[in-house]
Structure 1
Amino acid sequence: MFRTKRMAAIAALTAIGGLTLAGCSGSSEEVAETVDPDEEVTLTFAFWGNDVRAALYEEAFAAFNEEYPNITIQSSFLDYPAFWEKRQTEAAGGGLPDVMQFDYSYLRQYSENGLLLDLAPYIGGVIDDEPLSDEILAIGEVADGTFGIPTSTNAWALFENPALLEEIGVDGFPGGTWEDYNAWMGDVTEAAAAAGVDAFGGGDYTGRIQNFEVQQRAKGEDLFTEEGEPNFTEEDLAAFWEQGAGVREDGTVVEQQRVEELTPLGAFDTALTASELTWDNFGAGYLANLGEGYETLDLVAPPTTDGASESDLYLKPSMLHAIASTTEHPEAAATLVDFLVNSPESGEIFGTNRGLPASTTALEAADLDAFSQKIADYEASIADRLGDAPPVPIVGYGTLEEKFRQIGTELNFGTITVDEAVDQFFSEMDVVLNS
């Protein structure tokens, strides 16, 4: 279903190149099929991003108003951390924007606290479900409701810098296990030193919880169950972090001090490392930061776990659109969500700025540039490794993800042992799950 439908669209493109609600939750039992064109409506809309994304949204709103001139949109944006700080403040006072760009990590937290409108009554009516597969729609489900519609998807990928690899004089990662990847990074670092190039094969990937997740999924286990309970042991986590011990200690990966000195940029988008494991929609930002001399990046599949790779990857919503449960104009808000997700205009305007469009209608209308086409090609290439998305992240997942990153930093600095790292993470997880 999902894979066939979505991959057919991608193939076609390839062929041509802790909160409390101060209000009440829920949705009306009777839902209008369309908005009243004679009713003057003002909707507030909030998103995270930059001036480039803001200009794209303004263009999309102008197209939306050609069809719905009675709906005025007042938009605002912030960077990602500030966006969620403001949402927390608004949630406590019952003043969330009508429509929001939304992150998967916060979907359970906000929906379970009654802050988001259940969109299920609008799906198949105001929100067209024909261009969205059941699997895509299921991403936004929490308990018995649907609280977000994915605008786009991305997948975990291994980025490579071909210009830097050419300068060093080595080929890209040919594929293989995580042990093979460690060995390849070592070869790149050694070749760079011999060529007089200040660069490394990569960074310490054990600082990202997503790499741990990929390895756990290769064993058929998501990180957390549907009930929000941890689905891994201390031994599992210790084994994962031990993988990085060798490359941390022998100089294969870039040392943490140099990474810290580059902040707010990273080692990959300053051409200090030749590879990086992350979500596939990060590429445009990397290229913008790398600048002149780096015209493109390559995407290849992440390493496999002992050759087992079936269902270890999945499509994640790079973002969703959600509606506040307190909105006074649910039909109008749902109409805007449908336009921003499904319309050909949204595909043409945004391209892959928000990730590869989740809607087949928007995807087919998107004019993909060469690099965006690489993303589409990449997601098509990993079809045999895609499994169902994991359960919606637990409340507090963002906190655990950041703690994982911080512990990874300390491991790279050598200030804690793996056993101490495991103890720290499980202690933090206990607090998050029982708060």
Structure 2
Amino acid sequence: MVNGRNVERRTILKAAGATAATLGLAATTGCGGDGGASADGTVTIRYAWWGAEDRAQRINKTIALFEKKYPKIKVKTDFQPYLDFWKKFNTQASGGNPPDVFQNAIGFLRKYDAKNVLLDLSEQAKAGNLRMEGFRAGLEKFGEIDGKLLGVPVGSNSMALVIDKPVYARAGVKPEQGWTWDDYHAAMKKIREKTGRAGDTGPYNVMYLYDLYLRQNGKAFFTEDGLGFTEADLTDWWTKAKKGVEDGSYANQKKVAQIKPKSAVAGELAGGEFTWDNFTVRYTSEGKSEYGLAPIPTTDGKKTGQYLGSLMLSASKRTQHPKEVAQFIDFMVHDPEVAKIMGYDRGVPATQAQYDAYKPTDEVNKAIAAYEESLVEAGVLEPITPHPNGADVCEAAFLRIGEEVGLGKRSVDEAVKQFFTESKTALGS
């Protein structure tokens, strides 16, 4: 799952300078996997993901464990920053040469299923090569689309409000589960008055936050075949965001842009911002303060609209080694040692076995685990909104156009019309 504001930050901060050569990774060529088996029965599968040096080092350690357990299966690796990954993958898929197994996200399942790229892993599960039990609550059916198993979750995350804890303390603001948007907006003004800092970075282009707001009000960003909201809805959202900047509740968007890739929270322009819970560690590395997680505000004091998001592992329909690919996925999502190596790099481990195997000792990751446990205990989690074919294009448009509104490059009315024009084209509606 991808948050637009943070895609850029994590690709720049963590991807800068990472190369296959410096990490000692096996180079992946334009040709496919080995096709068959070698003389001794060894097969080779290709595995690709987005990320950078730290994730690559962790993943390669897990691959070493896998190859030790399955000496007849070798794994070639390839990784890219997020945007570069999908450019390369799209080229490979269009050419009929996607990797055998790859990191995936909910916004791409229907897109590449429609292009006949994704392998339905159901048969491998039935054959016993891939276990689909033991997943944490909210993730059991995450990768199932239209009756097909197109992805297997590796970790979970959920939207949260990341806050600068000392700033909130100085302002006397204590967010609690069930607080309303009225409470939130009052808190933003109080932070501004008491600390001189904007309360929040601003919600212009945080698509998944807008999705939660819509879900709280009986709608959703996506339906199975299109957008689940109107131009009037989006006009209201962006108009309120603009007013928030004008009254100082939200940060000046030009200043936010100037300090990128650092976040406005770590850059001390805002007291908090909405993002995925497992990104908290990035704020700690960027800033000098202490950061924490606060609940999502609600419309009625009860419904947050939240769901667990997840990165997934998917397989290519063209793979010549479906059994071995399934065994690889099974190992990566169930083996306890993998969790100890990966930690929360891709979110909180998706299976209970891996969740139990990795117990964070640092305060940041402890807070992430506690936050997700609190969502289960509060009973606020719901099924994720379906993502239609073309959802990834809509998300990119929301990110870009929302930022343009914040920077004053487009009026709200112009931006809304542009977003709906691009989305209707992408969704074929």
State the match for 1:396 in structure 2. Answer: 390
**Distance (Å, rounded) in 2 between the aligned partners of 1:58 and 1:397:** 31
Distance 2:296 2:216 in 1: 12
Alignment match of 2:124 (pick from 122, 129, 132): 122
Q: Conserved in 2, the CA contact under 8 Å of 1:160 and 1:172?
A: no
Given residue 250 of structure 1, which amino acid in structure 2 is its aligned partner? D
Instruction: Write out per-residue CA displacement over residues 15-68 of structure 1, whole angstroms, 9 at most, x where no aligned residue.
Output: xxxxxxxxxxxxxxxxxxxx99x6201111111112111111111112112211
Residue identity opposite 2:401 in structure 1: I
**2:125–2:132: 8 Å Cα contact kept in structure 1?**
yes
Cα distance in 1 between the residues matched to 2:424 and 2:250 = 31
> Secondary structure at 1:206's aligned position in 2?
coil
Alignment of 1:16-55 (within 5 A): 39-55=41-57
1:203 partner letter: T
What's the C-alpha RMSD, in Å, of the aligned pairs?
2.2
Structure 1 counterpart of 2:208, from 203, 207, 210: 210
Distance 1:230 1:414, change over 3 A: same
User: What does residue 366 of structure 1 align with?
Assistant: 358
Q: Which of the residues 402, 415, 423 maps onto 1:421? A: 415
Contact map agreement 1:140 1:150 (CA 8 A) in 2: yes
For structure 1, the 5+ residue unaligned runs are 1-34, 194-198
The total of aligned residue pairs comes to 387
What's 2:295 paired with? 301
Structure 2 counterpart of 1:356: 348
User: Unpaired runs of 5+ in structure 2?
Assistant: 1-36
Counterpart CA distance in 1 for 2:300 and 2:139 is 29
> What is the deviation of 1:192?
2.1
Q: Distance in 2 between matches of 1:322 and 1:330?
A: 11
- Equivalent positions of 1:37-116 (< 5 A) are 39-116=41-118
Deviations 1:104-160 (CA, angstroms, capped at 9, x unpaired): 211111122111111011125111122126852422122231111010111111111
> Aligned equivalents of 1:405 and 1:190: distance in 2?
29
8 Å CA contact 1:206–1:243 kept in 2: the answer is: no
Distance (Å, rounded) in 1 between the aligned partners of 2:410 and 2:302: 31
The corresponding residue for 1:407 is 401
Asked if the contact 2:175–2:295 (Cα under 8 Å) also holds between the matched residues in 1, the reply is no
The structural deviation recorded for 1:78 is: 1.1
Q: Which residue of 1 aligns with 2:381?
A: 386
Q: Matches of 1:298 and 1:135 in 2, distance apart?
A: 23
Percent of aligned positions with the same letter in both sequences?
32
TM-aligned CA deviation for residue 321 of structure 1: 0.3
Moved more, 414-423 or 83-92: 414-423
Structure 1 equivalent of residue 24 of structure 2: none
Q: CA deviation at 1:422?
A: 2.2
Q: Distance in 2 between matches of 1:431 and 1:258?
A: 33
**Greater mean deviation of Cα atoms: 259-268 or 50-59:** 259-268
Q: Secondary structure at the match of 1:424?
A: helix
How far 1:409 moved relative to its partner?
Answer: 2.1
Distance 1:93 1:416, change over 3 A: closer
Q: CA deviation at 1:339?
A: 0.6
Q: TM-score, normalised by structure 1?
A: 0.83
- Aligned residue for 1:257? 254
Q: Kindly provide the amino acid, as one letter, of the partner of residue 208 in structure 1.
A: V
Counterparts of residues 267-278 of structure 1 (less than 5 Å): 267-278=264-275
Instruction: Please give the per-residue CA displacement for 1:200-237, whole angstroms capped at 9, x wherever unaligned.
Output: 211111332222211111123332223x1322222222
Q: How far apart are the structure 2 equivalents of 1:164 and 1:59?
A: 39
- Deviation of 1:165 after TM superposition, in Å, equals 4.1
Do the aligned residues in 2 keep the contact of 1:111 with 1:142 (CA within 8 Å)? Answer: no
Number of the residue aligned with 1:145: 148
* 1:39 partner SS: coil
Pairwise CA distance, 1:245: 3.4
- In structure 1, how many angstroms separate the alpha carbons of the residues matched to 2:366 and 2:155? 15
Partner AA of 1:86 in structure 2: K
Task: Quickly say closer, same or farther: Cα 1:134–1:94, change in 2 above 3 A.
Answer: farther
Query: Conserved in 1, the CA contact under 8 Å of 2:129 and 2:323?
Result: yes
- Shift in Å, 1:402: 2.2
